[in-house]
Amino acid sequence: MSADHHGSSAISERVRHVEALLEARGLVDEGEIDRRIDEFLAGGSPANGARITARAWVDPDFRDRLLADANAAIRELGLSMSGGLQEQRLKVVANTEDEHNVVVCTLCSCYPIALLGPSPAWYKSEAYRSRVVRDPRGVLREFGLELPAGTRISVWDASAESRYMVVPRRPEGTDGMPEEELAGLVTRKGLIGTAAV
Amino acid sequence: MADRFAPGDAVRTSTADPAGHTRLPRYARGAVGRVVELAGHHPLADDRARGLPGTTQAVYHVRFAAADLFGDGDHAVTVELWEDYLEPADPRGGTP
C-alpha cells in the first residue's frame, strides 16, 4: 500500500477490472460510474464553504441555524449535501476565541465534497490521518498555524455517515466588508481547520 | 426501537477487534467518552461491509478527552459511533 491510499496503481487496476466486470454483466452501463462521479463533483468547490462562512459571519441568526441544523441552513443559500446517492448529514462547527476545530477521517478520507470539492492529497495521507488525532497542536504548527496555549482544540473524526465543515473565525479589521469580499478571504484549509481562515 | 443513549450520557466503547470491517477506530476502543448529540440512524457499517442489510440504529457523536485515548494531550476528539459499539459507563471511568 502506498502512503496516500488513493495513489496505488494496483488498486487502480483492480477498480478498472471490477468496473469492466460490472459493465460486462450489465449491472451498470458503460461509463455510468464516471458519469455519476462527474455529477457528484459538479459544483463541488471550496467557494461553497466560503459562501456559507461569510454568511455566518455577517448573520448571527444564520450562524445559529447552521450550527443547529447545517443541512437545512445551507439550503437557504441554494446548496445541499444530496449530490450523491442519498443526502449526507452535515455537521458544521465554529471556531471561537477559546476553541479551535479541525476535521479528519482517520479510517479513510470522508470529506464534504459538495461544499469543498475534491479533498487535498494531504487530507488523505496516512501522516495527517494518524497524527492529527494524537497531536493536533503539533500538526497545526506544521501547517503554520500556531494557536495560543489557552485555545482548546477539538478534533472531529468523520468515522461514520456525517461530513464536517469548520467555520473559521472572522479576521480582525473586516468590519463593514461586503459578504462577497469576506468569502474571498476563506481558504479550503480554513474550512478543514488547518488554517486560521 | 428507542435510542439507547442521550446527550450527556457517559459511554464506554467496545474492546472487540472484529475480523472484518468496522467503523470503530482502533484508537477509540475501550475508552470512556460522552455523547454529544445524535447523528442520525444508519445501518451498521460492519454488516453492510459483509453484504448484509444491517440493522438500522442510532449513530452518535461521542467526545473523548485525549488523555483518555492516548494517556496524554489536552485536546478532545469527537468520533461518530454506532450504538452497537457503546455500553453505558460510569463517567469516572469505572463500569456501573
Domain ranges of chain A: 9-39, 44-192
pLDDT in tens for each of the 96 residues of chain B? 689 999 999 999 999 888 889 999 999 999 999 999 999 999 999 998 999 988 899 999 999 999 999 999 999 999 999 999 999 997 654 444
Choose the catalytic residue: A2, A12, A82, A108. A108
A-chain CB neighbours of B73 within 8 Å are 134-135
Please list every residue in chain B whose beta carbon sits closer than 8 Å to the beta carbon of residue A158: 80
DSSP strands (E only) in chain A: 90-94, 99-104, 152-157, 163-167
For residue A138, list chain B residues with Cβ-Cβ distance below 8 A: none
3-state helix, strand, coil in chain A (%, to 5): 45, 10, 45
- CA-based diameter of chain B, in Å? 40
Q: Does B68 touch chain A (CB under 8 A)?
A: no
- Asked if pLDDT for residue A114 goes beyond 50, the answer is yes
Instruction: Write down the pLDDT at residue A153.
Output: 98
Question: Which pLDDT does position A30 carry in this prediction?
Answer: 86
Which set of grid coordinates corresponds to residue A120?
Answer: 487535498
3-state secondary structure of A10: helix
Instruction: Please state which CATH class domain A44-192 belongs to.
Output: alpha beta
Query: How far, in Å, are A42, A48, A114 from residue A84 at the CA level?
Result: 11, 16, 9
Which of A4-13, A15-24, A156-165, A187-196 is the least confident region? A4-13
| Mean pLDDT across chain A | 92
**CATH classification at residue B75:** 2.30.30.50
pLDDT digits (tens, 9 = 90+) for A31-42: 888 888 887 777
pLDDT score of B15: 94
For position B30, what pLDDT does the model report? Answer: 96
Q: Which of A105, A125, A154, A159 is catalytic?
A: A105
ipTM for the predicted complex comes to: 0.92
Summarize pLDDT for A42-69 with one digit per residue, the tens.
788 999 999 999 999 999 999 999 999 9
Q: Is residue B4 in some structural domain? A: no
Query: Which range of residues forms the domain containing residue B17?
Result: 10-88
**A110 tagged catalytic:** yes
Q: How many CA atoms lie within 13 A of A188 on its CB side?
A: 16
Nearest CB to A152 within list B23, B75, B81: B75
Query: What 3-state DSSP class applies to A16?
Result: helix
Domain annotation covers residue B57: yes
Structural domain contains residue B5: no
pLDDT band at A85, cuts 50/70/90? low
Instruction: Nearest by CB to A134, from B70, B74, B80: name it.
Output: B70
Please report whether residue B58 resides in a domain.
Answer: yes
Cell 450523491: give the residue: A84
Q: Is residue B94 part of a domain?
A: no
Residues in contact with A70: Cβ distance below 8 Å, sequence separation at least 6, in sequence order = A90, A91, A92, A165
pLDDT at residue A2 tops 50: no
C-alpha cell at B68: 483518555
Structural domain count of chain B? 1
